[in-house]
A = this chain, B = another copy of it.
Amino acid sequence: MNTIVVVDDHTLLSQAISGLVNSFEDFEVLYTSKHGQDFIDQLKFPDKVPDIVLMDVNMPIMDGIETTAYLKDHYPDIKVLALSVEIEERTILKMIRAGAKGYLLKDTEKSVLENALKEVVDQGFYHTNTVAKLLMNSLDSDPTLTLKEREIEFIEHACTEMTYNEIAEKMFLSPKTVQGYRDTVFAKLNLKNRTGLVIYAIKHGYFKP
Interface residues of A (CB under 8 A from B): 9-13, 15-17, 19-20, 23, 34, 83, 85, 104, 106-110, 113, 158-161, 163, 191-196, 198-199, 202-203, 209
Residue contacts A-B, CB under 8 angstroms, 9 given:
A11-B108, A11-B110, A12-B20, A12-B109, A15-B110, A19-B20, A160-B199, A194-B195, A195-B195
Q: Are B209 and A106 in contact (CB under 8 A)?
A: no
User: In the docked arrangement, what's the CA distance between A10 and B12, Å?
Assistant: 13
Q: Are B194 and A107 in contact (CB under 8 A)?
A: no
Shortest beta-carbon distance, A96 to chain B, in Å? 20
Residue of B nearest to A110 (CB): B15
Closest 3 CB pairs of A and B: A16-B16, A10-B106, A161-B196
Shortest beta-carbon distance, A119 to chain B, in Å? 16
Q: Are B13 and A13 in contact (CB under 8 A)?
A: yes
Given known pairs A16-B17, A198-B199, A209-B199, the reply for A191 and B161 (CB within 8 Å) is: yes
Q: Are B209 and A203 in contact (CB under 8 A)?
A: yes
With a CB–CB cut-off of 8 A, which chain B residues contact A191?
161
Shortest beta-carbon distance, A4 to chain B, in Å? 14
Q: Are B107 and A11 in contact (CB under 8 A)?
A: yes
Residue of B nearest to A159 (CB): B199
User: In the docked arrangement, what's the CA distance between A107 and B192, Å?
Assistant: 39
With a CB–CB cut-off of 8 A, which chain B residues contact A20?
12, 15-16, 19
- Residue among B12, B109, B193, B195 making CB contact with A110, cutoff 8 Å: B12
Given known pairs A106-B12, A107-B9, A107-B12, the reply for A195 and B161 (CB within 8 Å) is: yes
Q: Are A12 and B161 in contact (CB under 8 A)?
A: no
Shortest beta-carbon distance, A183 to chain B, in Å? 16
User: In the docked arrangement, what's the CA distance between A61 and B34, Å?
Assistant: 31
User: In the docked arrangement, what's the CA distance between A172 and B16, Å?
Assistant: 50
With a CB–CB cut-off of 8 A, which chain B residues contact A106?
10-13
With a CB–CB cut-off of 8 A, which chain B residues contact A202?
202, 209
